[in-house]
Chain A
Amino acid sequence: MTILLQTVDLRKQFGETRACDSVNFIVQQGEFLSLVGSNGAGKTTLVNLISAHLQPDSGKILFEGEDITFATVSERIKAGIARSFQIVNLFDGLTVFDNVALSIFSRQGKTARIVSLAKYDREVRDEAFEVLGQFGLRDKSEIDAGGLAQGERKLLDVAIAYALRPKLLFLDEPTSGVSTRDKAQIMDTVSNIVRAGTVTAVIIEHDMDVVFRYSDRIVMMHEGSFLADGTPNEIRANKDVANILLGAPLSA
């Protein structure tokens, strides 16, 4: 196993709240990792720090051994870190096709092209249709993203991030607010992509059924630090985890 991402004593404080308290987080290449924990545990903050949505107070972030602590958003995307957001973030006025195509244009450095028609770029077009096919959205390609159903919106949200062809993909609650059937479709899709060996995925998730079913490893956060880290079976057996998930006080 090789380490893809590592944080060293990463800290972020909001007023009195320690959202990230000396976090040493390691993501191995090719794994499917879930970040769990109650609301306010610091999961989203950690992802925001790694994706440059927030700047840390102190600590370091290493990606493939390179220090990226002060790298900009676009530098991190180039390096291979992509993310989706907790609340669906689409380009509602653009078609489903354009939403995905834009990721590909951006990745290929073609967004500065001003005198060529976007939809006649064969290379981008073929790839966009391939991604849409993987996410089951091919038939919807000409609809405005604003007109999709909630489950499809979630899928497209992931597809946009995936089309950047990241090495490391963060998905912040990819299944929140969708039906059980849509949940399975979204998670199967993501899982297939990871199993195909092209991308490492870290998801933030509250639905423990989903977490136990799909993850290789689970990391549990509580009040800004890691409480548990292990395989689904190890986590299942962990008393602290159970107590927090059931809302009981810590045994310590």
Chain B
Amino acid sequence: MKADALSVTYRSELGLVALAAAVFVALALLPPFIGLYQTQLLIYGLIAAIAALGFNLLLGYTGLLSFGHSAFFGIGAYTVAFLLRDLQIHSMEGYLALGLPIVALTSVLFGYICVRHTRIFFGILTLALSQVIYSLALKLFWVTGGTDGLRVARPSLFFGLISFTGAGSFQRFIETYYYYVLVLFAVCVIVMWVIVHSPFGKALQAIRDNETRAAFLGLRIRRFRLIAFTISGTFTGLAGILWAPLNGLATPDVLYWPFSGEIVFAALLGGFRSFAGPIVGGILFTYLKTYAVATTEYWQALLGTVLVLIVIVLPTGIVGALSRLATKSELKVKS
């Protein structure tokens, strides 16, 4: 019976791996069919998905709602700009190698302060700290460029193997960078999937569900929250690092609190209770915002309406609603 149970889990996981592989292949084949603009938009979508995936380790799995994840995204983006301007680093791998430790360190520092509290107090602390960073970026304009931000040139990829200058370089950059981001996105998804299914991930969910009982299993609650916070911030920081060269500019608006709100929005849109929710939400939100901005002057009102509708009609988000539908039809087929 034990063996049976185990083989059933293996089988269900095989299905999952097959599905994920199919999605990956489909994404990889997409660019020639959708054209340059849509490819660029999809890169933005994948980056938003990485940010939301990181964010959701805290909200969905640890039960902590951060309103300050703009800080990690923004610090990632500005780190790239500083590395380029002050250290003349032009390599994407250089940005990753130096940027990731920096966003991880920032996350530890923020986390150390914030995880002493939970619920609204946690949220307010993350919000306050992130706005300290925002105001620094705004006021120290001789360092950060103030509201203008800092320019980020197109970096070379694969340790300088491919660089993007001369005619048609924008197109080549988008076409290559898409795969660069897609692979990192896939790595992030796999790493995060393993984390939430590890004993550590289960412990986080236990803390989310019942802090008191988790303490009486001998779990060191605050330490677990700090580690989750650090991983979460680092993922979102990675998204910021990837975003800066694509955007060509590190601007203070990604440090401003509405951007934290957009990350929350993305997670809610896809559904923070499911693993795939924030991924789908991140990509969909990118499209939603882009088309809302293009369609109407009142795009914020449009996004706000969508958010209200989601919370009321689809509290488990799009992925949550879809998986419920799937379960229902499965039951119908069986009966």
Question: Is the pair B213, A160 in contact by a Cβ cutoff of 8 Å?
Answer: yes
Q: Tell me if B21 is interfacial: C-beta within 8 Å of chain A.
A: no
Question: Is the pair A103, B217 in contact by a Cβ cutoff of 8 Å?
Answer: yes
Question: Is the pair A164, B218 in contact by a Cβ cutoff of 8 Å?
Answer: yes
Q: Which residues of A contact B220 (CB under 8 A)?
A: 74
Chain B 104-135 residues near chain A, CB threshold 8 A: none
Q: Tell me if A115 is interfacial: C-beta within 8 Å of chain B.
A: yes
**Which stretch (A6-14, A105-113, A189-197) binds chain B?**
A105-113
Q: Tell me if B203 is interfacial: C-beta within 8 Å of chain A.
A: yes
**Known contacts A114-B195, A129-B2, A141-B5, A160 near B202 by CB under 8 Å:** no
User: What are the interface flags for B185-220 relative to A under an 8 Å C-beta threshold, 1 for contact and 0 otherwise?
Assistant: 000000000110111111101101110111111111
Question: Is the pair A113, B200 in contact by a Cβ cutoff of 8 Å?
Answer: yes
**Known contacts A77-B218, A111-B219, A117 near B213 by CB under 8 Å:** no
- What number of residue pairs across chains A and B have CB atoms under 8 A from each other? 106
Choice from A51, A98, A112, A141 contacting B216 with Cβ under 8 Å: A51
Looking at chain A, what size class is its interface with the partner chain?
35 or more
Question: Is the pair A91, B199 in contact by a Cβ cutoff of 8 Å?
Answer: no
Q: Tell me if A234 is interfacial: C-beta within 8 Å of chain B.
A: no
Q: Which residues of A contact B200 (CB under 8 A)?
A: 111-114
- CA distance in complex: A101, B206 (Å): 11
Question: Is the pair A73, B205 in contact by a Cβ cutoff of 8 Å?
Answer: no
Q: Tell me if A82 is interfacial: C-beta within 8 Å of chain B.
A: yes
Closest B residue, CB atoms, query A116: B198
- CA distance in complex: A107, B218 (Å): 8
**Could you list 13 A-B pairs, sorted by A, with CB under 8 Å?**
A77-B217, A85-B216, A91-B214, A93-B205, A98-B202, A101-B202, A102-B206, A107-B218, A112-B199, A114-B198, A116-B198, A118-B202, A129-B5
- CA distance in complex: A83, B212 (Å): 11
Q: Which residues of A contact B176 (CB under 8 A)?
A: none
- CA distance in complex: A78, B227 (Å): 22
Question: Is the pair B209, A102 in contact by a Cβ cutoff of 8 Å?
Answer: no
Q: Tell me if B9 is interfacial: C-beta within 8 Å of chain A.
A: yes
Q: Tell me if A67 is interfacial: C-beta within 8 Å of chain B.
A: no
**Known contacts A105-B203, A141-B5, A119 near B197 by CB under 8 Å:** yes
Q: Mostly helix, strand, loop or mixed at chain B's interface?
A: helix
Q: Tell me if A238 is interfacial: C-beta within 8 Å of chain B.
A: no
Chain A 180-196 residues near chain B, CB threshold 8 A: none
Q: Which residues of A contact B199 (CB under 8 A)?
A: 102, 105, 110-114, 116, 118, 121
Question: Is the pair B205, A94 in contact by a Cβ cutoff of 8 Å?
Answer: yes
Q: Tell me if A57 is interfacial: C-beta within 8 Å of chain B.
A: no
**Known contacts A93-B205, A107-B218, A119 near B212 by CB under 8 Å:** no
Question: Is the pair A106, B213 in contact by a Cβ cutoff of 8 Å?
Answer: no
**Known contacts A51-B216, A89-B213, A164-B218, A118 near B205 by CB under 8 Å:** no
Question: Is the pair B210, A102 in contact by a Cβ cutoff of 8 Å?
Answer: no
Question: Is the pair A117, B203 in contact by a Cβ cutoff of 8 Å?
Answer: no
Choice from A90, A118, A121, A142 contacting B213 with Cβ under 8 Å: A90
Question: Is the pair A105, B216 in contact by a Cβ cutoff of 8 Å?
Answer: no
Q: Tell me if A207 is interfacial: C-beta within 8 Å of chain B.
A: no
Q: Which residues of B contact A121 (CB under 8 A)?
A: 199
Question: Is the pair B210, A115 in contact by a Cβ cutoff of 8 Å?
Answer: no
Q: Name which of B194, B206, B212, B224 has the most chain A CB atoms within 10 A of its CB.
A: B206
Instruction: Give 3 nearest A-B pairs by CB, closest first.
Output: A89-B213, A77-B218, A91-B209
Given A77-B218, A113-B198; 9 other pairs, CB 8 A cutoff? A77-B216, A90-B210, A111-B219, A112-B200, A116-B194, A116-B198, A129-B2, A160-B217, A164-B217
- CA distance in complex: A166, B210 (Å): 21
- CA distance in complex: A91, B63 (Å): 12
Q: Which residues of A contact B215 (CB under 8 A)?
A: 73-74
Choice from A74, A105, A126, A161 contacting B202 with Cβ under 8 Å: A105
Question: Is the pair B198, A117 in contact by a Cβ cutoff of 8 Å?
Answer: yes
Q: Tell me if A66 is interfacial: C-beta within 8 Å of chain B.
A: no
Q: Name which of B194, B210, B215 has the most chain A CB atoms within 10 A of its CB.
A: B210
- CA distance in complex: A89, B210 (Å): 7
- CA distance in complex: A78, B220 (Å): 13
**Known contacts A94-B205, A117-B197, A106 near B217 by CB under 8 Å:** yes
User: What are the interface flags for A57-95 relative to B under an 8 Å C-beta threshold, 1 for contact and 0 otherwise?
Assistant: 000000000000000011001100011010001111110
Q: Name which of B201, B210, B218, B219 has the most chain A CB atoms within 10 A of its CB.
A: B218
Question: Is the pair A83, B216 in contact by a Cβ cutoff of 8 Å?
Answer: yes
Q: Which residues of B contact A111 (CB under 8 A)?
A: 199-200, 202-203, 219, 224
- CA distance in complex: A161, B218 (Å): 11
Q: Give min CB distance, A80 to chain B, whole Å.
A: 11
- CA distance in complex: A37, B124 (Å): 45
Q: Give min CB distance, B156 to chain A, whole Å.
A: 31
Q: Which residues of A contact B206 (CB under 8 A)?
A: 91, 94, 99, 102
Q: Give min CB distance, A92 to chain B, whole Å.
A: 5
Q: Give min CB distance, B2 to chain A, whole Å.
A: 6
Question: Is the pair B202, A102 in contact by a Cβ cutoff of 8 Å?
Answer: yes
Closest B residue, CB atoms, query A76: B218
